Structures are given as C-alpha cells and as structure tokens.
Structure 1
C-alpha cells in the first residue's frame, strides 16, 4: 500500500445537480404528452364496445411510448451529459418492454372487441381486419418485429448474442416504427377526429425521428469530419494493456470531459466495421486524446497492432461520469483494475482534495500507477494502492472508513469490474453515503 499526501487544495464550488433537472424534464415531457393524448382520445368519442375503447387507448399510449423510446436512443449530448448513457439505456430497455405489452394488449382488446360485435371468432376476426381495414396488416408485421426484438433483448438471449448480431436485429425497430406509424395514420381514430390531433401526432413522430437522425448520424459525421482523428502513438502499458494516442484538428473545440468515453472505430481493413467503448485515460487538453485498454476480446486485443497514422472514427463523447455532477468540494476516487482509466482522467481535472483508492490483485496489475502517483503528489491528494485477493473484501465498510474517515462528506466516483462495483456500492450504502454523492457508470449504449 502506497500513500502520498500533501495539504489539501482549496475546495471547489459544489456543483448543481443537472441530472435531476434533465430527469425531471423528461418525466414532465412524457406526462404532458400522456395528458394531451388522453384529451384527444376523449374528444374523438368512445365506441360502444368497452374492449375496443381500451384497445384504442392502449394503442395510443403504446405509440407515444414508442416515440419516447426513440428520444432515449437518440444519444443527444444534452441528455447524455446529464443522465448518462447507461441510465438512458436502462430506461430504453424498460420502455421497450412497456411498448411491447401495451401493443400486445392493444391487439388483443381490438380483436376480441370486434369479435364480440360480430359473429366471428378471434382468429377469423383478425384475418378479416387484416383484409378489410387499411394499415392493420402493417400493424401485425410491426408487432411481430417488436416481439422478436423484445425476445432477443431479454437478458438470457442477450448474453448469447454477439453485440453486432443483437444490434443488427435491433435496427428492425425502425422498420416497426414506420409500419406502426402508417397504421396509426390509416386506422387511428385521433387522426380522423381533428386537425389538431393529426398535427400533434405528426409533430411527435417528426421530432422523435429528427432527434435520432441528428444524434445518431449527423452529429457523429460532422464531428469526425471536423476533427479528423489519427493515431500518433501506440504505447504498451503492461503485457495485455495498451495506450493509444490520437490527434486531430480543432480538438480544443471537442466537447469532451475527463471521465467520458467514445465508441472507437479504427479504420483498418479488418476492424473498420467494429466499434468498441473505451474511456479517455487522460483529461482532454485540446491537443490530443488518449485511451488505455485491456485485451478482453478480439477488438481490444487487436489495438496493439494499430499502426501510427490510422484514421479513427469516434462516436461521442458519451457519459455523465464527470466532475459536472459533483455535490461536494472533496472527493473519493475508487478504481478497480483497468477501470482506473476514467479515474486517472478525473484526477487530472478535478479540483479540491481527493483520496484515490486503487484496487488490484497485485502490484503488477496497477496500470498507470506511476501517473496516478505523480498527479496525486502534484495536486496534494492521497493515493492508496490496495492489493490482495478478492476475499476478504479490502474495500469493506470498515476499510473504507479507515482509509477515508470523512467518506460521508465527499463525492465518490467509482469505476471497475461489475462485481467489484456492486460490492463497493453495497458497502457505500451500508455506510449511509448519500445516493446523490455516489457517481458511477457502466458501458451501455441505448439502441
């Protein structure tokens, strides 16, 4: 265990809570649109059959949530910097399952409602609707696609699929969206009820699709055209860890912060099609960017063979794991293994006194340790290298209090392997560290 300590630096101004503002804004937008949809539904009048009434209402709510889901996957920088891609991905996932159940309920209620008013059984009623009502067949295809996407998005199935396979299947969501919207235009009662309702729905879908087009296509293409990133150096840090340095044009205008990550795509003949998420391992300085990665798969293992001069297509920056979310003037930075990369970048940017806890199995696993030690010394911070096997827990509540007696009064930034992060989060809860002072992020990308 190594400790470096100097008198603490002057505390920085505690930050506001932009995450609460952004989250409350999204909830308010959704609630307002639910109210508008309900009003238009009531104005359109009710069918005599209760099942048909409920079917139409669940269909409208399902359409609204589908548009809201597009907003969650749009990767708009304002929301991403405040909420974080991992939280947006989690919301996207649960919104997706809500859409699936609402649309299934819509289909069942509509079919059984019309069957109750006719002499047909539900199966023949569905066939009759598909043959006689414009847009119903498209709706059936859309629902089938959404069911398939929902099945492959379940955790058990997701673990068995390569990311590229899952992502390719997931792209059919956009086909389902288009088919569902055309069904709504052709058969939706709110479209026929009034011009304001029609204008509203065109506006909702237009805004959602425009957000996806801007965040997923226009912004990445524009940023890469502007910055023209190229590899300038490939530096081994350990047996299976490598740092890649990049430079480009106008990097001082790139809105990246310490703690964020990019989806990196190295434009080589064998890897141009594959993107991998890696955090910045140094705070952006306007001149160069650096990532540091451990060989954990084919994509990351191939990084040590990247040649100087290789063009890089970077999507991002993404993530809310930044000093923007600080609530206290002093901090604790907890890193596990290669999770030290965003922690090292944060230490470079962060103001105020910080305590760094670096958890590794052995001293040899302490990647970037020399840099951490130099930074800690220069900034007057404490650095603890915590080594040893997983059990007993070297970051148990009693150990955390021993290393950082005032941990409840500090912001805690945490990054490392999922089991380690889960254990530390549990220990912080046991110590009653306020939730708003705990900052962590997992590599997740919505859609």
Structure 2
C-alpha cells in the first residue's frame, strides 16, 4: 500500500561517526596496466632508434597497444564490476570512462598516422601509396579499418555538442557499435602486431586481457541483472503524477531489502515494454526502499523519461544497482542543508528520510520554476528536526537569485556548520557550491549529484 510518509526527529540524536575513507586500488591497478604495456612495447621494439621510419613505426605500435589496453579499461570501468563500484563510485567511474574515451580516440589516430608515415619512409613510398600497400600486406587490416571507423564514430557521438543534438536512443545505438569495433580490430592486433607475432607469451597475455574483459561484462552486465530479475520479480505497480513534468513510478517485488539500497542512490532501470526495452536509464530512489517496494520519481527530461507516464501496472522491470555515493554516511555534522531542484527532489527526499532517522537536523531548500513544480512537497512535514523551504519562481520573476550567498545565508544562518547536499541541474549545483564555499562551508562538506533538466 502506498502512503505519504512523514517523519519526526528522534528525541535523542544518534551520533553518526565520520565516514571511513578507504583507499581504492582501482587507479593504481590501471596505472600498473599502463606500465605493463610500456614494458611489453619496450622489450619487443627492435626497430626503435635504428631509422626514422623504424622509430615512427615503433611509436605507432606503442600508441596502438595503449589504445587497445585503455579500451578494455574503459569497458571495465562501466562494467558494473563490484570492486570498481565500491572503490570509486559509479559517478566517478563514468567520468573516468569519458576521459579515457578522448585518450583512446587520439591514440587510435596517432597509431594510424605513425604506421602510415613510418611505413612510407621504410618502403620508400609516398604516404598515399603506402595506404594500399599496407591494406594488401597486413593481416586483417580491412576489418581493423572498419573497426577504427566505428571507434571514431563513437568518439564523435560522445562529444558534448553531438550529445546535445542526438537522442539518447540514437547515441546509445552508436555507442554499442564499439563492441563490433573491438571485435574487428582484435584479429589484426594478435596476427599483425610485431610484439605478438614474435612472442606467444605476449599474445597469450593479450588474449587473456580481452577474454577477461569480456567475461566481466557478460557476468556483471548480463548474467547478474538477469538473475536479479528472477530473484526480485520486479513489476510496475503504479505511476503517480507528482507535479508538472514529474511522476513517480512505484515498483513492486520481493525481498528488496537484500538490495541494500540507500537514500540518494540510483538504479539503472529498464522497463521491459516496447519503447523502453532497448535502453536502461539512471533513476534515483525517492523514498527509502521497503521489502516489497521501490519508488523512482522521474523528471520528463527526454523521450524515455517522458514516456514513463504511459507505463502500465504489471510491466516487468530490470534494474542494475544500486549506484552512487550521494548518501547519508558522507555527512560529518549533525546539521545538514539539502538543496533540490527539478527531478533532484527525488533523491533529496529519500536522503532526508535516512538523515532524519539518524537524528540529524535538516533544512530542505526546494527550488522550482513555479509552484506547480514543487513535487513531493507534502511529504516534507515540518518537525523539530526538519525545516522545509520552498523557493518557486524564476530569478527574472523574483528579481534576485535565492541561492546566492546573501540570500542563502539569510535562509540558513548557521550554514558554515552544516554539511551541504545539492541535487539538481548542473548550473544550480554550481551556484549552491559557490555560495556554500563563500559562506565558510569546507569543500569536503559539499556533496553534489547532478541531474539535467
């Protein structure tokens, strides 16, 4: 049964220890892989230092080896590998994945250019004559050329300008072609790469790297979600409009407490119905999960999220997660400011529920374009531990910015003593972070989660 939840602060606040920051071995492991690739290249590069063409070929081989290794690292970063998730957090893993994507594209282009120019110097041909010569003599180079084009297409489609113009569904389809690109280039690497032709050990290690990456993806992105689907038997139980452009999707299942989800976290949600089945989208919890229900409050930010209002009860649901570190254990003070904007009210509402249960004293500031956008407002019942401050209206209409240091300081006079959690559009999150810093909040006490609007 779905009911509106209200909260009261416990009479005696519960002391909450500072979160333990564990050193992650993920980054050192990635760098160790880079060192191993450099060692492989160095020990197998007989052409280096002999002739200009040989030097360029050797450097081109290095660029290709690094690009190939970093592609595997990219896939593992977003492969839902638990060790990576626990050590880094999904948001940072995605950021690293994107950064590595730029490096991979540049390395691939460098590899192609150096192999052509270096080969032309060694063969005594023009650059344009060297290209057909390479295609005629190098094993599996034609498939590798097609794979390289796919790599570049994925890189271009992931650029910020392209992402703004492409629908998520089209971008995702292009992104998936990276797997075909990897398959098409792999045979050329092991059959034509000098380091692998001359060394069965190096070839075996490289095959093991790719096989291990494939096994991790199949395990954590395919097998585990499917097993979880059978285990939890998730289905849509209701879709409830909350405000203009916002709706809550209630999902029913069994044994959901075993997910160990926290307020402020999100899942990758795939609704198994036409129009939704092909893609999974990140949706945050908007209430603490129970043993048989999850609730996601979704903003109409695109075709997929807008269409959730058409979901029918009984629609099967596949989830991956939970992900994210926008959680109560990051708070180090018993006083907390929560700022929400747009669809960010969902995770803020769930986070507030958990923080209040810990006995913390909260101020919730809720920004919206107008009063009709104040979703879930009725669930923030004022109490001894909770003050709810709605701030509807555009800045042009208000005549001021309610989140600038002056006005935010008036709303929350003791802000410097509080942890600040902000969830909403990037511009709003930036504004709150700047104001909090100006008002004396340490950088370590500002926690943010961005949701486009």
TM-score (norm 1): 0.88
Residue number in structure 2 paired with 1:421: 429
2:42 paired with 1:45: no
Distance 1:307 1:150, change over 3 A: closer
Distance 1:192 1:274, change over 3 A: closer
Superposed displacement of residue 402, structure 1: 2.7
2:388 paired with 1:380: no
Superposed displacement of residue 77, structure 1: 4.1
Q: How does 1:209-224 map onto structure 2 within 5 Å?
A: 209-224=214-229
* Cα distance in 2 between the residues matched to 1:296 and 1:95: 27
Distance 1:236 1:39, change over 3 A: closer
Residue number in structure 2 paired with 1:31: 31
Residue number in structure 1 paired with 2:19: 15
Residue number in structure 2 paired with 1:236: 241
Q: How does 1:209-288 map onto structure 2 within 5 Å?
A: 209-238=214-243, 240-269=245-274, 271-273=276-278, 275-288=280-293
Distance 1:11 1:404, change over 3 A: farther
Residue number in structure 2 paired with 1:304: 309
Distance 1:6 1:389, change over 3 A: farther
Deviations 1:199-254 (A, max 9, x none): 33223222222222222212221111111112223333335433222211221212
Deviations 1:245-282 (A, max 9, x none): 22112212123221122233333445444544321110
Deviations 1:387-443 (A, max 9, x none): 333241101112233333343343221112333223223323434533332222235
> Which structure would you say has the larger RCO, counting Cα contacts within 8 Å and 6 or more residues apart?
1
Superposed displacement of residue 186, structure 1: 0.7
Residue number in structure 1 paired with 2:96: 91
SS in 2 for 1:208: helix
Residue number in structure 1 paired with 2:3: none
* Cα distance in 2 between the residues matched to 1:160 and 1:37: 37
CA contact (8 A) 2:246 2:297 kept: yes
* Cα distance in 2 between the residues matched to 1:250 and 1:207: 32
Superposed displacement of residue 283, structure 1: 0.7
RMSD of aligned residue pairs (Cα, Å): 2.6
Deviations 1:270-305 (A, max 9, x none): 544454432111011222111222444443343334
Residue number in structure 1 paired with 2:115: 110
SS in 1 for 2:291: coil
- Segments of 5+ residues of structure 1 without an aligned counterpart are none
CA contact (8 A) 2:270 2:318 kept: yes
Residue number in structure 1 paired with 2:79: 74
CA contact (8 A) 2:232 2:256 kept: yes
TM-score (norm 2): 0.87
Distance 1:388 1:248, change over 3 A: same
Structure 1 consecutive aligned stretches of length 4 or more whose deviation exceeds 4 Å: 4-8
2:413 paired with 1:405: yes
* Cα distance in 1 between the residues matched to 2:262 and 2:256: 12
* Cα distance in 2 between the residues matched to 1:423 and 1:398: 12
CA contact (8 A) 1:17 1:325 kept: no
**Which piece of structure 1 moves more, 417-426 or 77-86?**
77-86
CA contact (8 A) 1:6 1:381 kept: no
* Cα distance in 1 between the residues matched to 2:274 and 2:192: 48
Deviations 1:135-180 (A, max 9, x none): 3333222222111221222222221111111111111111111222
SS in 1 for 2:290: coil
